[in-house]
């Protein structure tokens, strides 16, 4: 048995209560004000907040195929550093996990190298080419219950409908990157709004996202499939999701940390280039309100590491994407909880742990309670630190948040009862 002593645990009324937690590799056993038990390992958490491990449903680990950007090991080390105990790995790796044989090899590599829980997505279509369905039935038998072609939209309406029908049979979820390339001109690299004109760049209109999303929502209503929208960025997307939820469609959505914290006017260099792009201030506010009113279900990262060489090619030629998994919680805690009070800590934990656990069927994750998995993090909410990309565990240093001052740094990350990250404290 292991024991955490004197931890500040968040209560439903937004207060903290000092508690002890007994746990082992099989889960949380007991939570009480004072526990006197024989323990093999004791952590004194005095002055620290204990939270359920964070869950990120949108992470790019890059391996296999692009190990110069990230590996399963470095990506999961970065996750642990950021307080994430469970991540879902997007399938745009090489070879694509669109068949049973490839997925088995992928799962084995994850088992060997990952230090946090990693649940991979299967591809919706073979090679993410929108031409032929992946082996959705076969992959489902392996325990893969969510499918995505993240990085591209499923171009064909008929193909997406067939995928939804196949997933409905397997009680699996479609997790969609919605992007209609008819709306994206060659060389487009940021939002079509105010700032792209100031900088002289070709813009990407919001319809590039919401037009295909609306197509998908109509199909989800028709087929009855579980449907989830990736990295929502446009106010119209928020409105469409609300409308279809109100109709009773089994749909959900996520928003990224960067779309909550930044907008088009913040764009300065390729570290502000991501897909979908940072949109207008009104879109940013709609995303925040969408979280608060329950339209948007959760916060994700879309952690997308690239090499410095790739990101140094300029706004037009550099790849889309930023890294964020190591800075997400401190950034959100500082801006939305500590500084502005727009979120309570309870809400932030819900958006980053409980809600993704519930939506994606992780029954024993997302809460601190006996019977739940021993996935936990200790957080120092009082210590100020400066984000330093050179201290990232990720291979990717492509962040717009370098130099930002934040609170809420992760001190210890525990996965399945084992410490996988511990801050070196002075």
What one-character DSSP code corresponds to residue 408?
A: -
383 labeled part of a ligand binding site:
no
Q: What b/e string do you get for 78-99 counting C-beta neighbours within 10 Å, with b at 16 or more?
A: bbbbbbbbbbbbbbbbeebbbb
CA–CA dist 388, 367 (Å, integer) = 30
What is the three-class DSSP state of 12? coil
- Provide the token pair at 338: 């500590």
What one-character DSSP code corresponds to residue 391?
A: G
Q: Would residue 302 show up in a list of annotated catalytic residues for this protein?
A: yes
Q: Which of 20, 149, 297, 302 is catalytic?
A: 302
Start-to-end Cα distance in the chain: 28
Please report which helix (H) or strand (E) contains residue 285, including its range: helix 281-292
231 labeled part of a ligand binding site:
yes
219 labeled part of a ligand binding site:
no
- Provide the token pair at 39: 């323990």
- Provide the token pair at 114: 């990952």
258 labeled part of a ligand binding site:
no
402 labeled part of a ligand binding site:
no
CA–CA dist 222, 100 (Å, integer) = 29
Give the closest residue to 323 by CA, choosing from 228, 384, 397, 249.
397
Give the closest residue to 163 by CA, choosing from 175, 151, 178.
175
61 labeled part of a ligand binding site:
yes
Whether a cis peptide bond, with omega within 30° of 0, leads into 95 is yes
CA–CA dist 197, 173 (Å, integer) = 39
Dihedral angle sign, alpha carbons of residues 355, 218, 150, 266: negative
191 labeled part of a ligand binding site:
no
359 labeled part of a ligand binding site:
no
Give the closest residue to 188 by CA, choosing from 200, 177, 178.
200
84 labeled part of a ligand binding site:
no
Please report which helix (H) or strand (E) contains residue 32, including its range: strand 27-32
- Cα of 407 vs its chain's centroid, Å: 20
Residue 113 near residue 21 (C-beta atoms within 8 A): no
Residue 171, CA distances (Å) to 30, 156, 250, 360 in order: 34, 22, 12, 11
Q: Indicate the angle between helix axes 281-292 and 235-246, nearest 10 degrees.
A: 30
92 labeled part of a ligand binding site:
yes
**Within 10 A of 225 (CB to CB), how many other CB atoms are there?**
26
62 labeled part of a ligand binding site:
yes
58 labeled part of a ligand binding site:
yes
302 labeled part of a ligand binding site:
yes
CA–CA dist 124, 121 (Å, integer) = 9
Catalytic residues, which ones? Answer: 302
> Binding-site residues for Zn(2+), please?
58, 60, 150, 177, 231, 302
> Binding-site residues for substrate, please?
60-62, 92, 275, 306, 320-321
> Binding-site residues, please?
58, 60-62, 92, 150, 177, 231, 275, 302, 306, 320-321
């Amino acid at each position: 048995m292991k024991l955490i002593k004197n931890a500040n645990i968040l209560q439903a009324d937004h207060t903290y209560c000092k508690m002890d937690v007994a746990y082992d590799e099989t889960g949380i056993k007991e939570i009480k004000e004072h526990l006197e038990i024989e323990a093999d390992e004791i952590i004194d958490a005095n002055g620290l907040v204990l939270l359920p491990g964070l869950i990120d449903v949108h992470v790019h680990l890059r391996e296999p195929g692009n190990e110069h950007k990230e590996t399963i090991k470095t990506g999961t080390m970065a996750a642990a550093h950021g307080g994430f105990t469970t991540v879902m790995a997007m399938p745009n790796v090489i070879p694509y996990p669109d068949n049973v044989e490839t997925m088995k090899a992928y799962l084995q590599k994850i088992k060997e190298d990952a230090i946090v829980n990693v649940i991979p997505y299967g591809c919706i279509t073979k090679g993410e080419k929108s031409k032929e369905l992946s082996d959705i039935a076969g992959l489902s038998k392996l325990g893969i219950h969510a499918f995505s072609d993240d990085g591209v939209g499923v171009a064909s309406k008929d193909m997406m409908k067939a995928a939804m029908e196949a997933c409905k049979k397997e009680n699996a979820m479609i997790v969609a990157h919605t992007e209609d390339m008819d709306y994206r001109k060659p060389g487009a690299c940021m939002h079509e709004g105010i700032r792209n004109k100031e900088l002289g760049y070709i813009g990407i209109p919001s319809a590039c996202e919401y037009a295909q999303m609306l197509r998908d929502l109509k199909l989800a209503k028709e087929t009855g499939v579980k449907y989830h929208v990736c990295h929502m960025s446009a106010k119209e997307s928020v409105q469409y999701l609300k409308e279809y939820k109100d109709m009773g469609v089994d749909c959900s959505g996520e928003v990224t940390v960067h779309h909550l914290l930044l907008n088009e006017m913040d764009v300065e260099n390729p570290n502000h280039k991501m897909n979908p792009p940072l949109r207008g201030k009104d879109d940013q506010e709609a995303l925040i309100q969408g979280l608060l009113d329950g339209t948007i279900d959760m916060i994700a990262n879309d952690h997308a590491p690239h090499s410095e060489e790739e990101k140094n090619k300029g706004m037009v030629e550099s790849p889309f994407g930023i890294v964020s998994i190591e800075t997400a919680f401190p950034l959100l805690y500082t801006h939305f909880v500590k500084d502005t009070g727009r979120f309570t800590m309870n809400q932030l934990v819900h958006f980053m742990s409980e809600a993704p656990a519930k939506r994606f069927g992780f029954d024993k994750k997302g809460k601190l309670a006996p019977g739940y998995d021993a996935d936990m993090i200790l957080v120092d909410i009082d210590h100020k630190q400066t984000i330093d990309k050179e201290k990232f565990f990720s291979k990717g240093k492509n962040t717009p948040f370098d130099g930002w001052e934040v609170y809420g740094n992760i001190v210890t990350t525990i996965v399945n009862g084992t410490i996988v990250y511990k801050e070196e404290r002075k």
